[in-house]
Each structure stands twice: as C-alpha cells, then as structure tokens.
Structure 1
Amino acid sequence: MGVTFANKTINTDQIDCTGTLQVTLALTAEPDILTSPTDIVLVLDRSGSMTGQPLQSMKSGAKKFIEVISQSTGGATDGTIGSGSRIGIVSFAASATANTQLITSVAALDAAVDSLTAGGSTNHADAFTMAVQLFDTASPNRKVIVLFTDGNTTAGPNPTPIAMAAKDDGITIYCIGLDGSGGLDVTALETWASTPPASYVLITPDDSELEQFFADLAADISKPGATDIVIDEVIHPDFTITSLLPPDQGSAHMIDAHTIQWTIPELGVRASEGAVLQFFIQHTAGTSGTKAVNQSIHYQDAQQNVVQFPDPVVTVTCDTTFAPEPCPTPIDFTISSCSDAVVIDAGALSLSSQGSIVQLSVTLRDVCPGKRVALAVVLSETVCGKQEPRGLKTFVVPAHQNPTCQDITVQCIKFILPDALNDHTCGLCCPRNIQVQCFAHYIDTDFVCCDSTLPRIACPCSKENTL
C-alpha cells in the first residue's frame, strides 16, 4: 500500500513572541494491495450534525475512495474491486446499519453511499461492532476500518473497548474527523485509531477537504511499503530548533538550527507500520503574525512514493514597541597596522558629567486602536530625606491599527543622573534612592466641547470667553 498516511501537526495554534511549539511528523506505510488483498469497511457518520453540505461532501469522498481502490486493484474496466480485495459500507447515527456486506461491485457500493440520509444521535460503539462483524475471520485478507465522524459519542456504550479489541484482532483502524458544530473528541479518535495515532488520525475543520482526504488515503492504501526513506525538514527562518527527540523508527539529526534530516531504512514492507518524529522549535523573530512552521519539507524513497505533508500555521503575538530615543550615532575610526596608539577627536558633547544613566521601559495596558497616547515620566531622588526632582519627559505614543486593544511597550526612556546632583562625595560607589512616576492618557477623543444640550459656554480655545 506504500505510504498510506503523512501528517505534520503542532501542539497549539497560538504562542507569544518567544513561545515554543512541539512539532510532530508522522508516517504510515503498508504492503501493496495487489500482493496483499485487503478487506476495507468504510464506517460513515450520518448523524443529525451531518445534515446538508457535510453529508454531500462525505458521500463524494467515500465514492472517490471506492473509485481509487477499484483503479488500483485493476477492476476499473469492469466496475469492480479487483485482485481479491473487497469493500463494505457501514453507516451510523443512533444505531449502525450494514448498508452492504464486503463486496466488489462499485455500482452497489456507490448506491449504498448515495442512499444515506442524516438524522439522530451518534453511536460509535454500534458502528465499530457492526464493522467488525463484516469481516470474515477465516479470510487471509488484511482488514482495515476507515471511520469518518464529525462529533462526540452521544448514544450507546463506551466504544473504546470495542475498538481496542478490533486492533488486538489485527484490524487496522484509520479515523477521519470533521471538527463540526457538535464538537469533536480528538482524544477519543486517537485512542480508537491504530498506533501511533499521529499516523492514523486526520482532522479537518472544513468539509470541502473530505473528498481529497478520502482520495489520498485510498491512493496511499494501494501502494507498496517504502524503503530508504529520507525526509529533509527546513523550518521557517523565524523559528529555531531547540531540541530533537529520538524517532520510533529510523534515526534523525539536526543539520543546523533550522534543518532536520530523518532517515528510515524500511517502513510497512511486511505489515502496516507507523513512524513518528517529534521536535521542539522556538519563535525567535520579533514580529507578530500568522506564520507557517516549515519553509520546506522534502520526502523521497526507493519506491518514488509522492508524499505531501500538511503545512500547519501558528499565530504569533508580539507586543508593539516604540523607542522614542535612538542610541547615539557611533564615531568610526581605524587603527592602522603595527600602531601602538591612536589619537582621535570624538567631537563635542554638551552638558556632560560623570554619573549614571537610567534606561527604563513602561507598558501601556489595553490601548485601543486608532488612539494616540500622551505619556509623561517623572524621575526623582531622595536626598537626606527630601525628594528632589531629577527629570521630566513627555512623549506622544503613535496609534496602533490592530483590530483590538493591545499592550504597547515604550522602550529605552533615558535619564541622566550626574554626580553633581548628589550630595555624596563617593560618586558611583554610593547607593542612590530613585523614584519614577508615569502618567498617561489618550490624546484622541470624540468628546465635543459645548454640547448643544448644555448651556452655551465658550471653549477655552475660543476667542469667546463669556456666556
């Protein structure tokens, strides 16, 4: 069957500016369907939440799956599933129904899919029970269940023991989940599916992707196992790889801070087999936005399987910064070779003295979009029990244009504390007790002076200052 599943996931879709992500790469490979005939049961959710377009998308996907398996087994010319493989249809809502047995007629399978209507609750336990009953325990064919569902279990007993028993009997279970309005228990799907879950569970929030999911899975199921696998993963330049866990198949190593190479000698050559690699990355850029995790990922093997990994994205949130005072412009000079000394003129600097420079930052909380902020910073020093002024600075903080209120960090506000202002004679060796106070308010407002419903009084800025 070749590489039947390829997935790439991240553990969260939102991080802060220096946040860390866990990245998981997963593969599944299985023997060739022509040399290893396979019985496949499609288990399809027809509960009430599937009403409308989701049901139509699922039907298109299921029929595409049947079509691809028919082509792969050499039965397309006479409308059958060939080479000894068979497909059965089970649908479920409050209870499960065997819409067909394991058969080879493409027309009968398509008709069974087309007959499905949505309505009722969701009984996964009955769905697994009915699917397992379709298999012939005496048949040497490989046995595969492909479960599609869009919701949580709302009827019947706990399905987990039934799924676990099926896997113990050698049945491979794939789970396709549509994260619909009724919610989706992803943990349950991972428990029901074969191991490792990352290789056998696929989740989508968009029913328009279902047909492609079914088609890709069917195409992968039809190919032989893979050997001499090499995966080169290059992450986005805004991230850095911080650690790499040993994979459960093959070996992996970091080429540099942005590149990993994973090699697997063989996978799924004799039986269904999964492989998982996990590593951690940290966002190191200072910019916000929705960012793709990987820059590129390249797969190759001896069988020339074509494998496409998803491209997950994460929303990165960095505080908006405003630096009102740039650092002084440096003066460049060169020391020629073999010179013991050099004399330069660094220019003139007014109001200079020895002392301390205080550089502080302040964060303005929940600043609304489109509004400038007036900020004042007051510095003072306690000398001999008396508070003495040391400086006042005011700034206009530019308005931000983000859709919601957000924090704005005003950085690098500098004050100079000359020794001449300190009564001590020990200079920098003496401790100094400094106080800072900050004041801020919006500059922009929709307030209108002299509201028409109030007695008419001239504004202070007007030439008119009387009633």
Structure 2
Amino acid sequence: MRVTLALSAAPDIVSNPTDIVLVLDRSGSMAGAPPAPVAAAARAAGIVIYCIGLVGADGVDANVLNEWATDPDASHVAVTPDAADLENLFADLAVNISKPGATKIVIDEEVNSDFAIVSVSQPDKGSAMIVDAHRLQWNIEQLGVTGNEGAALEFFIRHTGDTGGTKLVNRSITYQDAEGNLVSFPQPSVRVDCDVVVHPEKCPLPVDVTVGGCKDSIVVDLGDTYLESLGRIVQLDVTVKNVCPNRRVALAIILTEMDENGMEYQRGMKAITIPAHQYPTCRDVLVKRVKFVLPEDLNVSGGTPRSLCGPRNLKVRFIAHNIDTDYRCCELVATV
C-alpha cells in the first residue's frame, strides 16, 4: 500500500498583509459575485487563500472550500463545528502564518504494529530514511521561507497483521521545526481484507555454536528435538446391509475420542451418498476407505505427549437411511 505524507509552508505575511486572504463560510451566508473565479484570480496573483468553514445548523460544503483555497487543501482548509472551536482554530492559524516559513523540519512517523514499512521514495524536499520496520524520519532544511511551498513524501507499507478490518495506518506522527510551528496531520485508514492464515509449525529457535580457531571439527550435544505435526490417519470400512435396488443411501460416520474419565470429544463427521445398485434384489454394499485425520495435539487418550507410542481410544457411530422412496406426501391426483 502507498502512503503519501504532505505539508506546506509560506513566508511571513504580517509585514505584507495583502498576500493573504481568510475566507469564512457560514454555509450559504456569502453574497455578491461568484467566489470561485475571484479566488482563482487571487491565487494566480500569488495571494495565499485560507478557507475556514463553520458548520452551523445547515452544514458546509468542504469541496467548495477546497476549490477556493490555495493548494494543498490539507493545510489551507479547515472545517470547525462551532464558534468555540473556531476561536482556537484562528489562534493556531495566527501563530503559523506570522512565522517565516519553517526551517530545520523533522517529521517522525511510526506506523501501527499491523503494518511494516517496505520502502521510502525520494521526497521532493529534503531527505527521508527508514529507522526500523515501523518508523521513518523525514528531514527538510527549509520550507516556505521565500515563497509558498509544499512538500510530499511517498512510502510503501505491507500489512503484517493476522486480522482484517478498517485500520489506522499511523501509531504516531510528530512534527518539529526551529520556529515552533504547529502542524496537524490527518489520520489515514485502510480497509484490510485478509485471508485466513494458519501457521501450524513455528520457526525453530536457533542454537548458537562456535567453532574455535585452528580446529577442524567440533562435537556439541544440542539436547533433544521432537518430531513435528504428528498424527494418525484412521481408515474405516463399513458394510451397509440389505440395500434395495434403485435406492440411493445417505451414510453418516461420526468419530469421537474418549479420555481417561470416559468423556467423549468430537473428532469428525462425514456424510456420504452411496449410489443406487441395479441388482434385482436387496444387496449388502461395502463402503471402503473412509478416512479421518487425528492430529496428535488433540490426543486426550493419555500416554506420552508428542508421541505416537500411546493408544488413541476412539468411538465410531453410523447412521444410514434411504434417500429415494416410493412414498409421496400430499400429492393431489385429479381424475377427469
């Protein structure tokens, strides 16, 4: 998955207030000439436009604000739900736009533990490096000191978690610069659809062995190791007695295992359709090679753990009945 991190900065505009326009939209309260062409002309003249939307009772169209504002929208458009939040937003904006761009920028980003950073592209400003599988750092010497500038960094991540769903990409992201600018970043999320993956065998732990210098051979006792993924295959044959001709038979086989206290544990069930035979009279039908798998980690019969040396105490039950019959329920026969 590709992730893009973007920010922008502008020079000090306090000494030249004609370089900035603040637009406050209170949902339909603006009047006069259509604002879109006016905003486009202002941007073309080098004026930086910030748009703030106050939601109010009627809502606000963020797409319209994005159209009016200077790019990138993430740093020039804000939507606030009420007047109290609006006051804080103006305070933060005043702090940021009164500073001469930004220098000595350091951005540290850490992705959530369900993701790993695969690679980082060369950013259009500064340099970026992977710190470890979950963290990267982006350094920019200066941004927006002489003019309005933006910067973007793309990096690629891989999902490493075992579960799916909607997940936040970032665990944390911090920004600092020499001027103390305040920067907020969005919280991107992705929808992950995972296959069900099972890892029955863990990676074996290594044992460190050192061969000394000037030695041709070494003898090391590394202790015990065990066979992995042990189990047994039970193959069953059964004869279904007195099956009439032209009758299919449904056969169920239920397998359980007994522990030392006589408790039964399910080990499997199979349902089989036995084809009809064409003999003139009833015949016995032999059903062969019905197989069940018994992993040894499910062994409740006792004996030595992780070993095939002990017995497995099993019970097998059969259910069989005809599928086809001459009986018809509730059929209506009309004679004319």
Superposition TM-score, scaled by structure 1 size: 0.40
From 176, 180, 194, give the equivalent of 1:305. 180
Distance 1:172 1:247, change over 3 A: same
Alignment match of 1:390 (pick from 231, 253, 258)? 253
Corresponding residue for residue 143 of structure 2:
267
Change (3 A) 1:235 1:145: same
Q: Does residue 52 of structure 2 align to residue 176 of structure 1? A: yes
Equivalent in the alignment of 2:16? 38
Show the counterpart of 1:190.
66
**Cα distance in 1 for residues equivalent to 2:60 and 2:119:** 31
Return the alpha-carbon distance in structure 1 between the equivalents of residues 35 and 269 of structure 2: 71
2:251 counterpart letter in structure 1: E
In structure 1, runs of 5+ residues without a counterpart are 1-19, 40-141, 322-326, 356-383, 394-412, 429-467
- 1:112 aligns with none
Q: In the aligned structure 1, how far is the partner of 2:26 from the partner of 2:154? A: 27
Q: Do the aligned residues in 2 keep the contact of 1:288 with 1:315 (CA within 8 Å)?
A: no
Give the fraction of aligned pairs with identical amino acids, expressed as a percent. Answer: 40
Does structure 1 conserve the Cα–Cα contact (< 8 Å) formed by 2:130 and 2:137? yes
Indicate if the aligned counterparts of 2:92 and 2:182 stay in contact, CA closer than 8 A.
no
Cross-structure match for 2:39:
163
Amino acid across the alignment from 1:30: A
Point out which structure has higher relative CO (alpha carbons under 8 A, 6+ apart): 1
Does the residue aligned with 1:31 lie in a helix, a strand or coil?
A: coil
Structure 2 residue corresponding to 1:257, chosen from 133, 137, 153: 133
Aligned amino acid, residue 296 of structure 1: S
| Aligned-residue offset at 1:274 | 2.4
Residue of structure 1 equivalent to 2:234: 353
Give the deviation of 1:313 after TM superposition. 7.8
Shift of 1:275: 2.4
1:120-139 aligned within 5 A: none
SS in 1 for 2:172: strand
**Alpha-carbon distance change, 281 to 186 in structure 1, aligned in 2, over 3 angstroms:** farther
Change beyond 3 A, Cα 1:148–1:389: same
1:385 Cα deviation after fit: 5.0
Measure the CA separation in 1 of the matches of 2:3 and 2:225. Answer: 54
**Preserved CA contact (<8 Å) 1:286 1:318:** no
Corresponding position of 2:301: none
The 5 Å alignment of 1:90-129 reads none
CA distance in 2, matches of 1:192, 1:266: 27
Q: Which residue of 2 aligns with 1:415?
A: 268
- Structure 2: how far apart are the matches of 1:392 and 1:154? 76
Change in 2 beyond 3 A, CA 1:31/1:311: closer
Q: Does the CA-based 8 Å contact 1:232-1:299 persist in structure 2?
A: yes
Q: Counterpart amino acid of 2:149?
A: E
1:258 CA displacement: 1.9
1:237 and 1:245 map into 2 onto residues whose CA distance is 21
Residues 319-350 of structure 1: CA deviation (Å, up to 9, x unaligned): 9x9xxxxx99x9xxxx9955899899x99x9x
Checking the alignment, whether the CA contact within 8 Å between 2:95 and 2:181 is kept in structure 1 is no
Partner of 2:315: none
| Aligned counterpart, 2:93 | 217
Q: Report the equivalent of 2:152.
A: 276
Residue 209 of structure 1 aligns with an amino acid whose one-letter code is D
Q: Which residue identity lines up with residue 159 of structure 1 in the other structure? A: P
Change (3 A) 1:169 1:238: same
> How many angstroms does 1:203 deviate by?
2.6
Partner of 2:77: 201
Contact 2:166 2:190 in 1 (8 A): yes
Offset at residue 252 of structure 1 (A): 3.1
The Cα of 1:147 is off from its aligned counterpart by 1.2
Residue 163 of structure 1: SS of its match in structure 2? helix
Q: CA 1:424–1:275 in 2, change beyond 3 Å: closer, same or farther?
A: same
Query: Across the two proteins, how many residue pairs are aligned to each other?
Result: 241
User: Structure 2 vs 1, CA of residues 354 and 176 (structure 1 numbering), >3 Å: closer, same or farther?
Assistant: farther
Aligned-residue offset at 1:423: 2.9
User: Cα 1:156–1:318, aligned 2, differ >3 Å: closer, same or farther?
Assistant: same
In structure 2, relative to structure 1, the CA distance for the partners of 1:247 and 1:316 (3 Å cut) is same
AA aligned to 1:178 is L
Per the alignment, residue 407 of structure 1 pairs with none
- For residues 84-134 of structure 1, give each alpha carbon's deviation from its aligned partner in whole angstroms, at most 9, with x where no partner exists: xxxxxxxxxxxxxxxxxxxxxxxxxxxxxxxxxxxxxxxxxxxxxxxxxxx
**Which secondary structure does the structure 2 equivalent of 1:210 belong to?**
helix
Q: How big is each residue's C-alpha offset from its partner over 1:9-61, in whole Å with a ceiling of 9 and x where there is no partner?
A: xxxxxxxxxxx7x765443322235xx7121xxxxxxxxxxxxxxxxxxxxxx
CA contact (8 A) 1:172 1:194 kept: yes
Higher helix share: 1
* 2:145 counterpart SS class: coil
| Change in CA separation of 1:37 and 1:244 when aligned onto 2, cut-off 3 Å | same
Q: CA separation in 1, counterparts of 2:9 and 2:148?
A: 6
Amino acid at match of 2:268: F
Structure 2: distance between partners of 1:203 and 1:283: 32
Relative to structure 1, is the Cα distance of residues 340 and 218 closer, same or farther in structure 2, using a 3 angstrom cutoff?
Answer: closer
